[in-house]
Amino acid sequence: MKRFLAGRPVNPIGLGCMGLSHGYGVPLTEERAEDVLLKALDLGYDHFDTARIYGVGRNELLIGRVLGGRRGEFLLASKMGIILDDGPRRIDCSPATIRRECEKSLKALGTDHIDLYYMHRPDYTVPIEESVGAMAELVREGKIGAIGLSEMNATTLRRAVAVHPIAAMQNEYSPWTRNVEIAVIEACAEHGVAMIAFSPVGRGALCGELRDVAGLYEGDLRRPMPRFIGENWAHNLELIDAFVAIAAELGVTPAQLSLGWVLAHGDHLHAIPGTTNLAHLAENVARMDWRPDAATVARINALFVPSAVHGHRYPEALRQQVETEEFAA
């Protein structure tokens, strides 16, 4: 059953496109990335999520080149605010930068309209009201269809909706990352905002296939993440193995269990798993309408109580760039 996002019905599972250009494992060839995108459309994916920072523009160029001819078949989402293409990495969501970055994305994507455009990270130097006001101008001009926020807290969301309707809040959410349960899921429901869960399969960890984190590709984003390091990983792997066993009992894959668990938390929830594997691409939507029952959700919640997972989801430098509420230590 479809759910509404930015004013239109879409399947509750979309495709996070970052990994097609960078992030996890050995980078794909252009041909392989093209295969994933086209196969996704054929499988019924109708929500594709990218960002200016993904591959420093390469991901948007890829999507524009490969999917431009089928633009009417999907909701297109992109993001701005993390700047890397003209100097050191920084966060900049000032009005002038928002407009400049939007124009870059429109050109790269080969379109005159982005359905859903996100502020990728909070900019602590610019009031959220100014950033949302600038994005509202882009809505009025027809360059974007709706406004989204990412990795922000409930307080910021409420300040933002006072300026302009917000269509979506995109934050990390999975059985082992549950910060949004503190306040964001409820705030989204209160204001009619879709909650978009990125990394809903725990950056691949909850599939149960990853064992040797030391063997990850040198440029893999997970290598410096505390959860994937040393004793933290050894401990977390025990939790993951228990999760995999629950999935086996239910006759679903661990990825399907993770996605079903996310979507069971409200009709305003969406999930955007990413993958470079064609089999996983099909697996993620094969049981799209399946949900675990309340007893199973409670069992998973008990397994992954926030205090049970060892290590923060981000290294310290990146942790300072997000404002999602934190559970007490």
Task: Give the CATH number for residue 272.
Answer: 3.20.20.100
Separation of alpha carbons 12 and 47, rounded Å: 9
Q: What is the 3-state secondary structure (H, E, C) of 150-201?
A: ECCCHHHHHHHHCCCCCCEEEEECECCECHHHCCHHHHHHHCCCEEEEECCC
Quick one: tokens of 212? 């040797």
pLDDT at 233: 97
Q: How many domains does the chain have?
A: 1
The 10s digit of each residue's pLDDT in 275-285 is: 999 999 999 99
Neighbours of 319 (CB within 10 A): 12
- Tell me which residues of the chain have a pLDDT lower than 50: none
- Predicted local confidence at residue 48, as pLDDT: 98
Inside any domain, residue 152? yes
Residue in the block written with tokens 């970052």: 18
Assign 82 to helix, strand or coil.
Answer: strand
Q: Domain for residue 32, yes or no? A: yes
Q: Is residue 58 part of a domain?
A: yes
Summarised one tens digit per residue, pLDDT across range 88-123 is 889 999 999 999 999 999 999 999 999 999 999 999
| Distance (Å, whole) CA 171 – CA 156 | 13
Q: Which of 24, 45, 54, 314 is catalytic?
A: 54
Q: Is 328 a domain residue?
A: no
Structure tokens at 59: 């991901």
Strands 3-5 and 168-172: unpaired
Q: How far apart are CA 284 and CA 15, in angstroms?
A: 10
pLDDT for the residue 25: 80
Residue 326 belongs to some domain of the structure: no
Range of the domain at 23: 8-319
The encoded tokens of residue 86 equal: 């003209």
pLDDT at position 86: 78
Query: What are the residue ranges of helices labelled H in the chain?
Result: 30-43, 58-67, 95-109, 128-140, 154-161, 184-190, 230-250, 254-263, 278-286, 294-303, 316-319
Per-residue pLDDT, 223 = 94
Q: Which residues contact 17 (CB under 8 A, 6 or more apart)?
A: 37, 48, 49, 50, 54, 59, 62, 63, 274
The pLDDT assigned to 84 comes to 85
In this prediction, residue 54 carries a pLDDT of: 95
* Amino acid found at 247: A
Q: Per the domain annotation, does 3 fall within a domain?
A: no
136 inside domain? yes
Residue 324 lies in a domain: no
* Spatial separation of the C-alpha atoms in residues 234 and 267, rounded to whole Å: 35
Amino acid at 40: A
Query: Is 54 an active-site residue?
Result: yes
